[in-house]
Amino acid sequence: MKVLILGVNGFIGHHLTNRILEMTDWSVFGMDLAFDRLDKAIDNSRFNFLEGDISINKEWIEYHIKKCDVIIPLVAIATPKLYVEDPIGVFNLDFEMNLQIVKQCVKYKKRIVFPSTSEVYGACPDPEFLEDESFLIVGPIQKERWIYSCCKQLLDRVIYAYGTRGNLEFTLFRPFNWIGPRLDSLDVAKEGSSRVVTQFIAELLMKRPITLVDGGSQKRCFTFVSDGIDALMKILENRDNGCRNQIINIGNPWNECSVKELAHMLKRLFMEHPRHSGDKSFSEIIDVSAEKYYGKGYQDIYTRKPSIRKAQELLGWNPRVGLEDSLRLTLHAFLDENE
Ligand code: UDP
């Protein structure tokens, strides 16, 4: 099988590529702006890489959509701080660029495995989010955070509409706070614009305060990347075509914790780390208002827990890595790479 991965150097892209090259005889064709996470893949003869921007290299993309069997467009801005700072950038990249790729998959009759997001459920009050039943709830226009959720939701709806009319074969997957090695870089965290787990780890390393937005009672379910990749591989294998035109949550409902609990657990794991157990001081954990941290355009999501019944039934999949192990593995990888 020939797999096209756009955004192949990203957090999900490079983990998926490594797994495909290790476990299958498939070929991977990939494009990205950079290749710093692709050291394991780059010399593999089944890996074909172009360094470039998806908004410029359109001929390369069209040619490879024609050539490949399955298309996985992973290029997107997926960090809340940037939804608020650069909503038009989110729209241009996450929506407009990806819409062109969806249309080419329709044109060339290619299967698309598309990353939707847990963010589409927005402020849904359900205790567990169900792919085919839960309401997708966002806030007012002035709260620009929601542009990412809306972009992804509209793409989900466009893909679904092409699919149900027989013009596109698709699977939409919704990652719930995947974490793991090389989630975000230290440089991004230095500016304060990375996702919560890497942001907290970077603060611990830099001995800066860990900031709990609005007290940190909001909860997330953190999913270790190897579990997420297990599910994605089953989606790509698509046994008996069981994933055809399905939307599938990929998350770990047993790894739910509040942001405050997360901060304390990461601090403890950092203090236990062999290179840091003797440090003289450690980051304090402080509160900050959402407006101060993110600006006026932000609104938080208080709970986000997946139902994984569909993933269990369709894929025979269950996440296996618990919260503490997921955080420890993420922390240790980050420290090993940045010290
Ligand atoms: N958050 C926080 N402190 C930080 C960064 C994030 O308290 O330094 C909170 C944020 O308000 C949100 C949660 O952590 O409630 C998760 O944020 P993340 O950026 O990982 O993305 P999200 O899960 O909201 O998509």
In tens, the pLDDT along 122-181 reads 999 999 999 999 999 999 999 999 999 999 999 999 999 999 999 999 999 999 999 999
Place of tokens 């593995």: 329
Confidence at residue 104, expressed as pLDDT on a 0 to 100 scale: 98
Q: Report the pocket of ligand 1 as residue ranges, CB < 6 Å.
A: 80, 119, 177, 195-196, 199, 211-213, 216, 218, 220, 259, 300-301
For ligand 1, mutation pick of 177, 183, 259 (most atoms within 8 Å of CB): 259
Confidence at residue 193, expressed as pLDDT on a 0 to 100 scale: 86
Entry pTM: 0.97
DSSP string, 208-253: PPEEEEGGG--EEE-EEHHHHHHHHHHHHH-GGGTTTTEEEEE--G
* Rounded alpha-carbon distances, angstroms, from residue 97 to 100, 211, 233, 270: 6, 34, 25, 40
Confidence at residue 248, expressed as pLDDT on a 0 to 100 scale: 99
- The residue extents of the domains of the chain are 76-179+223-251+305-320
Check: CB of residue 130 under 8 Å from CB of residue 307. Answer: yes
Place of tokens 């939701």: 153
- Ligand 1 atom 10: the closest Cα is on which residue? 213
Confidence at residue 284, expressed as pLDDT on a 0 to 100 scale: 98
User: In the CATH scheme, what architecture does the domain 76-179+223-251+305-320 have?
Assistant: 3-Layer(aba) Sandwich (3.40)
For residue 337, the CA-to-ligand 1 centroid distance in Å is 23
Using pLDDT thresholds of 50, 70 and 90, give the confidence band for residue 286: very high
For ligand 1, mutation pick of 191, 196, 218 (most atoms within 8 Å of CB): 196
CA 88 from centre of chain: 20
Percent of the chain with pLDDT over 90: 99
Query: What value, to the nearest 5°, has the Cα angle with vertex 238 and ends 235 and 243?
Result: 70
Residues 206-226 have a mean pLDDT of: 98
Question: 81-111 pLDDT, tens per residue?
Answer: 999 999 999 999 999 999 999 999 999 999 9
Confidence at residue 192, expressed as pLDDT on a 0 to 100 scale: 86
For residue 208, the CA-to-ligand 1 centroid distance in Å is 17
